[in-house]
């Protein structure tokens, strides 16, 4: 047997097991997770492939305010094509993103095992899955999960490409002669192109690699970037057919729509520490650090802190740990800049949490190494390993406590969801509180000839839910700018308790009416159902119309 292959075989097996475990966990929990805000739109776009490619990059009815590239839609479409015959419709739409995330988890295990240790590999993948919000986003038929997966793959392919192939080894590491690893470089370029093609945020992925190569004056890494970037641009071009017919004009349009949000009218507010923020009143500079500090389980934060300390303290020798740190920092910094879209909690800098998980893996390996060096006792080292395992099991408890509203997770540093809500954070975002328990209540309490009104939400979601039978009553989403709609045939009005998404009518209802049904988590309301007569009174009171 080839010696290098023999050494890699346990890691390859571990990677396969990590990917399989990740896929199994996501597929098993996906049926319990409600459809979230952007999924209906993303599924609708993906359904246009390959016949109507323009819609993969533009928002129907509002062509001036969108510009997302097409790769995430390709992932969704391929997943549906493979799985639609044997999975429920929503799970089938999520199948592609789930499989891509599982592949990324397997790649993370292998890369961390090769560059650090098996303990670091296991710790990084465990941290990736045990972050409740990351675990949730990994399910969705949407944009940011595939973006995060592709970014992980960029890092995982860049390292072997930058390491190159050893030609002649001398006495010192600096004297090692290397040449281009062309297969790895090609794979790096393709995965980078996939990242660019997932979302405009992905165009930041090369930045930490460029900085890292420059700081360490790594010529091989610079050559890899020099060759990989054109491959990535070509991949991006091939994955986006709207560019094919008018490349220059469509490239200009893509950059304008994605990097000039204030001019396109897409200005979504957010509620942060008791105040409303948007593009005109941007979040404070520390928002990304605060979000990280209150939405990541404390055990993972502590291990990540150890990993960051190792990367900073040994930056001259622990170059690959520094590369992880650079990938984490890029979105932490960019999201904190003035003018950056502030909405949707951690979603807009989700890839940063993947690299925080990798840094936690580094920390896990460091803790075991300290134990081995300090105690010189296999028994005590095993005790340390058992302690880390118990921490993982305890952290996994968060997934059971918050299920399936994992997007509402806050850690004990802020007092969990009740403490966060009292501090002025949004308890819910994407209608993930509209789970089977709420829908079952609505179906039981609504006659077949009656309808249901929903507050600010995605009509595309409800259209798909109605088609699939998840929502078994007629529905309507009133436009707050339109004239009042008669409620004679409507029984209930349903709203979610997202402060930045509440209309004046919603606020009146919350203050003056008693809901007929309420979905709560740890005592905090997420979704409320009001009688439509109460909604009529609230509308009249807040618009001065009868």
Residue 420 above 70 pLDDT?
yes
SS3 62: strand
Domain ranges in the chain are 3-406, 436-543
Confidence band of 56 (pLDDT split at 50, 70, 90): low
Burial tier of 28 (Cβ tally within 10 Å: 0-12, 13-18, 19+): exposed
Please report the pLDDT score of residue 236 as a whole number.
Answer: 93
Distances (CA, A) of 94 to 200, 466, 469, 528: 21, 18, 17, 27
pLDDT over 90 percentage in the chain: 66
Express each pLDDT in 345-380 by its tens digit.
899 999 999 999 999 999 999 998 888 777 667 777
Closest CA relative to residue 453, chosen from 538, 334, 338: 538
Closest CA relative to residue 429, chosen from 153, 133, 76, 214: 133
| Residues near 208 by beta carbon (within 8 Å), at least 6 away in sequence | 323, 326, 327, 329, 330
Question: Averaged over 49-56, what is the pLDDT?
Answer: 68
Sign of the dihedral defined by the CA atoms of residues 71, 151, 33, 82, in that order: positive
Express the helix, strand and coil content of the chain in percent, nearest 5 each.
65, 10, 30
Max Cα-Cα span within the chain: 87
Express each pLDDT in 264-312 by its tens digit.
667 788 999 999 998 888 899 999 999 999 999 999 999 999 999 999 9
Identify which of 47-51, 253-257, 408-412 has the greatest average pLDDT: 408-412
- Tell me how long the chain is: 546
């Amino acid at each position: 047997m080839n010696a290098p292959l023999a050494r890699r075989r346990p890691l390859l097996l571990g990677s396969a097991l990590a990917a399989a475990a990740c896929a199994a966990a996501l597929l098993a929990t996906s049926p319990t997770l409600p459809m979230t805000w952007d999924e209906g739109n993303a599924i609708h776009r993906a359904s246009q492939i390959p016949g109507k490619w323009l819609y993969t990059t533009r928002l129907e009815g509002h062509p001036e305010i969108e510009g997302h590239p097409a790769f995430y839609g390709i992932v969704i479409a391929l997943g549906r094509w493979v799985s639609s015959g044997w999975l429920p419709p929503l799970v089938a739409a999520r199948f592609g993103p789930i499989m891509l995330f599982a592949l990324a988890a397997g790649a993370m295990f292998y890369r961390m095992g090769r560059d650090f240790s098996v303990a670091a590999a296991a710790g990084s993948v465990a941290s990736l899955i045990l972050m409740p919000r990351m675990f949730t986003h990994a399910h969705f038929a949407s944009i940011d999960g595939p973006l995060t997966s592709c970014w992980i793959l960029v890092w995982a392919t860049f390292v072997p490409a930058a390491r190159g192939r050893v030609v002649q080894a001398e006495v010192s590491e600096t004297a090692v002669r290397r040449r281009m690893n062309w297969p790895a470089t090609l794979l790096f370029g393709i995965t980078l192109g996939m990242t660019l093609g997932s979302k405009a945020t992905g165009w930041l992925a090369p930045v930490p690699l460029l900085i890292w190569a420059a700081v360490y004056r790594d010529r091989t890494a610079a050559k890899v970037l020099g060759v990989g970037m054109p491959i990535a641009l070509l991949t991006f071009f091939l994955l986006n057919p709207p560019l094919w017919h008018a490349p220059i004009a469509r490239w200009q349009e893509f950059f304008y729509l994605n990097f000039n949000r204030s001019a396109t009218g897409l200005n979504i507010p957010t509620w942060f520490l008791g105040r409303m923020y948007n593009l005109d009143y941007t979040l404070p500079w520390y928002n990304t650090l605060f979000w990280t500090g209150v939405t990541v389980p404390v055990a993972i934060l502590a291990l990540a802190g150890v990993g960051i300390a190792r990367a900073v303290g040994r930056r001259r020798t622990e170059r690959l740990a520094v590369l992880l740190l650079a990938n984490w920092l890029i979105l932490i910094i960019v999201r904190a800049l003035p003018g950056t879209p502030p909405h949707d909690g951690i979603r807009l800098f989700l890839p940063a949490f993947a690299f925080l998980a990798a840094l936690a893996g580094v920390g896990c390996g460091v803790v075991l190494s300290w134990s081995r060096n300090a105690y010189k006792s296999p028994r005590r080292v095993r005790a340390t390993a058992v302690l880390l395992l118990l921490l993982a099991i305890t952290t996994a408890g968060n997934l059971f406590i918050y299920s399936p509203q994992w997007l509402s997770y806050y850690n004990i540093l802020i007092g969990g969801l009740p403490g966060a809500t009292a501090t002025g954070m949004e308890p819910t975002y994407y209608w993930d509180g509209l789970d089977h328990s709420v829908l079952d209540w609505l179906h039981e309490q609504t006659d077949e000839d009656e309808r249901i009104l929903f507050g600010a939400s995605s009509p595309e979601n409800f259209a798909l839910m109605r088609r699939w039978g998840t929502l078994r009553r007629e529905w309507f989403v009133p436009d707050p700018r339109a004239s009042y709609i008669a409620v004679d045939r409507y029984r209930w009005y349903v709203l979610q308790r997202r402060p930045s998404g509440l209309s004046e009518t919603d606020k009146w209802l919350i203050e003056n009416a008693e809901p007929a049904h309420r979905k709560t988590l740890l005592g905090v309301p997420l979704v409320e159902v009001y009688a439509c007569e109460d909604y009529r009174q609230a509308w009249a009171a807040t618009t001065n119309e009868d």
